[in-house]
Structure 1
Amino acid sequence: MTAILDHAVGVQHEAAVDLTGVGKVFGRGSETVTALTEVDLRVRPGEFVVLLGASGCGKSTLLNLVAGLDRPTSGTVTVDSGRPAVMFQEPALLPWLDAGRNVELPLRLAGVGRSARRTRAAELLDLVRLGGQARKRPHELSGGMRQRVALARALAATSNGTGAPEGGLLLMDEPFAALDAITRDFLQGELQRIWQATGTAVLFVTHDVREAVRLGQRVVLLSSRPGTVVREWDLGADGADREELTEEITARLREVISTHGRA
Structure 2
Amino acid sequence: MSVNLHQRVRPQSTDVAVQLSGVVKNFGRGEHTVTALDGVDLTVAPGEFVCLLGASGCGKTTLLNLVADLDAPTAGTVTRNTSRPAVMFQDAALMPWLTAATNVELPLRLAGFSRAERRAKAAELLELVRLGGQDRKRPHELSGGMRQRVALARALAATHRLDGGEQQSLLLMDEPFAALDAITRDVMQGELVRIHDATKPSVLFVTHDVREAVRLGHRIVLLSSRPGRVVREWTKDENTDEGPLTDDITARLREVISTHAAH
Q: Do the two structures share a fold, i.e. TM-score over 0.5?
A: yes
Equivalent residue, structure 2, for 1:148: 149
SS at match of 2:113: coil
CA distance in 2, matches of 1:142, 1:166: 34
The percent of aligned pairs where both chains have the same amino acid is 72
SS at match of 1:51: strand
Question: What residue ranges of structure 1 are gaps of 5+ in the alignment?
Answer: 1-12
Equivalent residue, structure 2, for 1:177: 178
User: Comparing both chains, which one has the higher relative contact order based on Cα–Cα distances under 8 Å and sequence gaps of 6 or more?
Assistant: 2
Q: 1:209, 1:250 within 8 Å by CA — same for their partners in 2?
A: yes
CA shift at 1:165, angstroms? 9.9
CA distance in 2, matches of 1:234, 1:183: 27
CA distance in 2, matches of 1:125, 1:172: 19
Q: 1:165, 1:198 within 8 Å by CA — same for their partners in 2?
A: no
Equivalent residue, structure 1, for 2:260: 260
Equivalent residue, structure 2, for 1:23: 24
Q: What one-letter code is carried by the residue in structure 2 that aligns with 1:137?
A: R
| Count of aligned positions | 250
**TM-score, normalized by length of structure 1?**
0.92
CA distance in 1, matches of 2:261, 2:249: 18
Q: What one-letter code is carried by the residue in structure 2 that aligns with 1:220?
A: V
Q: 2:83, 2:167 within 8 Å by CA — same for their partners in 1?
A: no
- Cα deviations by residue, 1:39-62 (Å, 9 ceiling, x for unpaired): 000000000000111111000000
SS at match of 1:197: helix
Equivalent residue, structure 1, for 2:105: 104
CA distance in 2, matches of 1:113, 1:172: 28
Q: What one-letter code is carried by the residue in structure 1 that aligns with 2:60?
A: K
SS at match of 1:177: coil
Structure 1 residues 161, 254: closer, same or farther in 2, change over 3 A?
farther
For residues 1-263 of structure 1, what are the structure 2 equivalents within 5 Å? 14-160=15-161, 167-236=168-237, 238-263=238-263
CA shift at 1:257, angstroms? 1.6
Q: 2:17, 2:168 within 8 Å by CA — same for their partners in 1?
A: no
CA shift at 1:163, angstroms? 5.6
Question: What residue ranges of structure 2 are gaps of 5+ in the alignment?
Answer: 1-13
